[in-house]
Chain A
Amino acid sequence: MQGNAEAKTVGTIGQAVRKDKATGGFKRWCHLLWQSKTGTVGFIIVLSVVLVAIFADLLVPHDPVENNLSDMLAPPFWMDGGSAAYLLGTDNLGRDILSRIIVGTRVSLLVGIFSVVLAGIIGLLVGLAAGYYGKWVDTILMRIVDSFLAIPSILFILVVLAVFEPSIMTLIVVIGLTNWVSYARVVRSEVLSVKERDFVRASYSIGTKDTTIIRKHIVPNIISSFIVISALSVATTIILEASLSFLGLGIQPPDVSWGAMLTDGRNYLATNWWIATFPGIAITITVLGIIFLGDWLRDVLDPRNYFSKKGGA
């Protein structure tokens, strides 16, 4: 319905978009993705990481947590003393590094995705309330948001981790509860601009309920910028989780985390470089993939970017 109203106001460009959409969703997305090199690379990386996380149990060549002291500190296969049994070598307790990296994708994605979902839901609700209802609701909510933004969220996270036992669940909740503020801000400003558009005013004037307007008109129009921030925040959260686990404040054994693997490796830097190298590469590649995919989504989901690029500006 509202697509119609938009197409009319935007004119020919809007019609072009509608025609584009009509000629098939999936094919069009594949085409758009293929046009962007970094987008394609990002998509492939993210897809692989997700698949590895899902099928981790089938993929691991060795038990990732069982100590194997007879094979400890084995180098990667291409070095002297390395063997094909341990492709990326073993750590100080003889655990296979490749297997641990494979299992580690689970923790990274779990914490990354679920804390962002939590932060996103809270931020969306607060932002919608503040932007749509305005007045004192807006004043109070935004004062709280500004206060949270005034200081680095890592401080809140550390206080919580000093009080509660760190675990995957604690991390998801605490990161989610501290990161919702940036969503609230973006959602609010988007709502403020959408709210004044003609189709929303028209809907209001014929007596549509607030909840219906929010659900049918506001949310669909802010969802694309919401998706873009979410994608990029999964990337920063993965780094945050790795950092906290590296400091010993995040994931605890026997759960496997890339960050905690780097802590083990730091003590063996002088003699066994591989322990502290491969988990870092895994983090970097994963985060890079998510950033690429996020940037591509931003270009595609925001029609202004899409057409300025097409125009060859």
Chain B
Amino acid sequence: MKKYLVKRLLQIIPVLFIISFVVFVLVYMAGDPVALMLPEDASESDREAMRAALGLTDPFYIQYFRFVGDLVQGNFGTSFRYNQAALPLVLERLPATFELAAASMVVATLMAVPLGIYSARKQNSLVDLFITGGSVLGKAMPNFWLGILLILLFAVNIQVFPVSGRGTIVHMILPAITLGTGIAAEMTRLIRSNMLEILNQDYIRTARSKGVSSNILVYKHAFRNSLIPVVTIMGLQVSHLVSGALITESVFSWPGIGLLLVQAVNGRDMAVVQAAVFVIALLVIVVNLITDLIYRLLDPRINYS
């Protein structure tokens, strides 16, 4: 187990290396920031002095190493829009995003687990067709459009929920449903196929043949065993969760890291873009690692090599 953990932690290094390299190359290609930093009437010698002071005249690889050195120290530069260090700006948005992500996962699980199990039990029935069709529709429908429709229905036509913002639990309902349904669409499908596979296994057939009732069979024998893949499925949804959060936060003006990142990209606020991208990437990697570990703890059949 320890060996496996070390191996996984070591695998993170090339990932971080690639992200840092890609981001650096892009920012390097973006051109000269000095023009934006000095007043219009600055002379060419002033610009040269500024470039030298910032180290922009150094060779490519030296600039890259300096960039990585800054990253390791958590120094992403200053946001010109907020005029403060970028990293704390990003970190203070984290609680809002965690809150939304957790609520969406709850919504997704509450929808996907019962629906997935039910449609597997009644395979090829009308309800199954309806649920499977619904999950395809959920995949085809853009997440943000669902958000807009929910606002239209529940915040504009029947005014039960607020249109946007964060504060009370009521603010959280529409964004959590928006993000949660998108994830539930994929999850339902996976749980259904998982459950179908388990229901066709020998030990279930044996239990059925000795007269175990259908409910006990499903919930005690099959569902417990289908939980293990469900953990992996939830882990797989992290990527969806991130891209979904970016857009859902923008639809509902939810003050999380996704909204901050989108605004920073729009405003070309590179320090914030870099900080947000690194923080999100690191989070995704950590969450994936944790789900992987849980999966291994739950299923003793997997060896740690």
The smallest beta-carbon distance between B137 and chain A, in angstroms, is: 7
Interface residues on A, range: 35 or more
Which chain A residues in 257-300 approach chain B with CB under 8 Å? 259, 262, 265-266, 269-270, 273, 276-277, 280, 283-284, 287-288, 291
29 example contacts (A-B, Cβ-Cβ < 8 A) are as follows A146-B11, A150-B15, A150-B288, A151-B281, A151-B284, A152-B284, A158-B261, A158-B262, A159-B274, A159-B277, A163-B26, A163-B29, A163-B30, A242-B142, A243-B142, A246-B142, A246-B144, A246-B250, A247-B250, A247-B266, A249-B262, A249-B266, A269-B151, A276-B148, A277-B152, A280-B142, A283-B141, A284-B137, A287-B142
Q: Are A262 and B14 in contact (CB under 8 A)?
A: no
Q: Which of A147, A162, A242, A277 contacts B265 (CB 8 A)?
A: A162
- Complex Cα distance A160/B130, Å? 40
The smallest beta-carbon distance between B97 and chain A, in angstroms, is: 14
Q: Is the interface of B mostly helix, strand, loop or mixed?
A: helix
Where the two chains meet, the residues of A that have a C-beta atom closer than 8 Å to any C-beta of B are 143-144, 146-148, 150-152, 154-156, 158-164, 235, 239, 242-243, 246-249, 259, 262, 265-266, 269-270, 273, 276-277, 280, 283-284, 287-288, 291
**B264 at interface, CB cutoff 8 A:** yes
Q: Which of B140, B145, B273, B288 contacts A159 (CB 8 A)?
A: B273
Known contacts A262-B148, A265-B148, A283-B142, A152 near B261 by CB under 8 Å: no
Q: Which residues of B contact A154 (CB under 8 A)?
A: 242-243, 246
**B139 at interface, CB cutoff 8 A:** yes
Q: Are A284 and B142 in contact (CB under 8 A)?
A: yes
The 4 tightest CB contacts between A and B, nearest first, are A280-B145, A288-B140, A287-B140, A163-B30
Q: Which residues of A contact B139 (CB under 8 A)?
A: 287, 291
Q: Are B14 and A162 in contact (CB under 8 A)?
A: no
Q: Which residues of A contact B151 (CB under 8 A)?
A: 269
Which chain B residues in 1-31 approach chain A with CB under 8 Å? 11, 14-15, 17-19, 22-23, 26-27, 29-30
**B34 at interface, CB cutoff 8 A:** no
- Complex Cα distance A270/B151, Å? 9
The smallest beta-carbon distance between B266 and chain A, in angstroms, is: 6
Given pairs A144-B18, A273-B156, 11 additional interface contacts (CB within 8 A): A150-B281, A151-B15, A152-B239, A158-B262, A243-B143, A248-B266, A276-B145, A277-B152, A280-B141, A283-B141, A287-B142
- Complex Cα distance A265/B18, Å? 39
Q: Are B152 and A163 in contact (CB under 8 A)?
A: no
The smallest beta-carbon distance between B257 and chain A, in angstroms, is: 11
Nearest to B145 among chain A residues (CB) is: A280
**B268 at interface, CB cutoff 8 A:** yes
**B85 at interface, CB cutoff 8 A:** no
Q: Are A150 and B142 in contact (CB under 8 A)?
A: no
Nearest to A266 among chain B residues (CB) is: B148
Nearest to B261 among chain A residues (CB) is: A158
- Complex Cα distance A89/B15, Å? 49
- Complex Cα distance A159/B141, Å? 26
Q: Which residues of A contact B29 (CB under 8 A)?
A: 163
Q: Which residues of A contact B106 (CB under 8 A)?
A: none
The smallest beta-carbon distance between B270 and chain A, in angstroms, is: 6
Known contacts A158-B265, A249-B266, A151 near B148 by CB under 8 Å: no
Q: Which residues of B contact A161 (CB under 8 A)?
A: 265
The smallest beta-carbon distance between A280 and chain B, in angstroms, is: 4
Q: Which of A148, A152, A259, A269 contacts B152 (CB 8 A)?
A: A269
**B247 at interface, CB cutoff 8 A:** yes
- Complex Cα distance A247/B277, Å? 17
- Complex Cα distance A109/B160, Å? 38
Q: Are B277 and A276 in contact (CB under 8 A)?
A: no
The smallest beta-carbon distance between B64 and chain A, in angstroms, is: 16
Nearest to A265 among chain B residues (CB) is: B148
Known contacts A152-B239, A284-B142, A288-B140, A159 near B26 by CB under 8 Å: yes
- Complex Cα distance A146/B15, Å? 8
Q: Which residues of B contact A265 (CB under 8 A)?
A: 148
- Complex Cα distance A266/B144, Å? 11
Q: Are A155 and B281 in contact (CB under 8 A)?
A: yes
Q: Which residues of A contact B273 (CB under 8 A)?
A: 158-159, 162
Q: Which of A155, A277, A287 contacts B277 (CB 8 A)?
A: A155
- Complex Cα distance A148/B141, Å? 26
Q: Which residues of A contact B268 (CB under 8 A)?
A: 162
The smallest beta-carbon distance between B91 and chain A, in angstroms, is: 17
Q: Are B149 and A280 in contact (CB under 8 A)?
A: yes
Nearest to A289 among chain B residues (CB) is: B140
The smallest beta-carbon distance between A290 and chain B, in angstroms, is: 8
Q: Are B284 and A262 in contact (CB under 8 A)?
A: no
Q: Are B30 and A284 in contact (CB under 8 A)?
A: no
Q: Which residues of B contact A159 (CB under 8 A)?
A: 22-23, 26, 273-274, 277
Known contacts A162-B265, A283-B142, A288-B140, A243 near B247 by CB under 8 Å: yes
The smallest beta-carbon distance between A130 and chain B, in angstroms, is: 16
Nearest to B247 among chain A residues (CB) is: A243
